[in-house]
Chain A
Amino acid sequence: DGGITQSPKYLFRKEGQNVTLSCEQNLNHDAMYWYRQDPGQGLRLIYYSQIVNDFQKGDIAEGYSVSREKKESFPLTVTSAQKNPTAFYLCASSMARDRGQDEQYFGPGTRLTVT
């Protein structure tokens, strides 16, 4: 454990509010990722970033936004436009290599509940 942290562990919000999930890593990894994990649907990629000040949409980016101002940090904002935001959110990081990624290291996750 350690190396990549997410906070808070549980988060509750009212519908219509934006909320930002924190992800920090001290592994000196170039690449960082955000996934959501839903029962029966496995892991789905929201956004990823290969380098500071650059990020790309994953498979389900609608209603989410990210920033990568520092190598260590990759916060995810769940906006009010996300139609089904209640989920378990996982952040991960990895070394980036020219021909492919190394293994991903995962944070403990944040469970977001929107009512």
Chain B
Amino acid sequence: AQRVTQPEKLLSVFKGAPVELKCNYSYSGSPELFWYVQYSRQRLQLLLRHISRESIKGFTADLNKGETSFHLKKPFAQEEDSAMYYCAPPYFPGANNLFFGTGTRLTVIP
């Protein structure tokens, strides 16, 4: 089965500190990965996708095929970044894969 793994369920950082949310994948081919975010009392929504190579709200994510990782990074955390973050692969018809990682709850301490 194709999997993504988020090893940290909880992550706390101080405001202004760098933050890295880890995501590792375990499938071959050309992965097209996504990061989703769920702020308190809001819908789960797309934060960024690998293929677009863009920076959203100061976050970036680089695909590292050697390490099979797609870690989400931000150089200076803000309080409003506190949320639940999910890493997700695309779905391929016929595959038996878990769509989302188990998520990491990020808390930015003022």
A54 to B32, CA, bound (A): 25
Query: How far, in angstroms, from A42 to B93 measured CA to CA in the complex?
Result: 23
Residues A100 and B86 in contact, CB atoms below 8 Å apart: no
Asked whether any CB of chain A lies closer than 8 Å to the CB of B46, the reply is: yes
* A103, B46: Cβ atoms closer than 8 Å: yes
Given contacts A40-B9, A50-B93, A101-B91, contact A1 B99 (CB under 8 A): no
Q: A43 and B103 in contact (CB under 8 A), knowing A101-B91, A103-B34? A: yes
Q: Which residue of B lies closest to A43 (CB)?
A: B100
Which residue of chain A is the closest to B89 with respect to CB atoms?
A100
Interface of B is mostly: loop
Which B residues from 1 to 50 make CB contacts under 8 A with A? Answer: 6, 9, 32, 34, 36, 43-46, 49
- Contact of A59 with B98 at beta-carbon distance under 8 Å, contacts A42-B103, A43-B103, A103-B49 already known: yes
Number of interface residues of B (CB under 8 A): 22
CA distance A33 to B33 in the complex (A): 18
What 1/0 mask marks residues of chain A from 77 to 115 whose CB sits below 8 Å from any chain B CB?
A: 000000000000010100010011101101111000000
How many residues on A have C-beta within 8 angstroms of the other chain's C-beta atoms?
A: 25
Q: How far is the CB of B29 from chain A (nearest CB, A)?
A: 10
Could you say which of B36, B44, B102 has the most chain A C-beta atoms within 10 Å of its C-beta?
B44
B9, B45, B98, B101: the one within 8 Å of A106 (CB): B45
Majority-rule SS of A interface residues: strand
Complex interface bits, B75-102 against A, C-beta within 8 A gives 1, otherwise 0 = 0000000000010101111000011111
Minimal Cβ-Cβ distance residue in A for B102: A42
Residues of A contacting B88 in the complex (Cβ-Cβ under 8 angstroms): 104
Other than A35-B100, A100-B90, give 12 A-B pairs with Cβ distance below 8 A. Answer: A1-B43, A33-B99, A35-B99, A43-B99, A58-B99, A59-B98, A101-B91, A103-B34, A104-B46, A106-B43, A108-B43, A109-B43
Q: Closest 9 interchain pairs by CB? A: A100-B90, A42-B102, A42-B103, A106-B44, A43-B100, A101-B91, A103-B46, A101-B90, A106-B43
- Give the interface of B toward A (CB within 8 A): 6, 9, 32, 34, 36, 43-46, 49, 86, 88, 90-93, 98-103
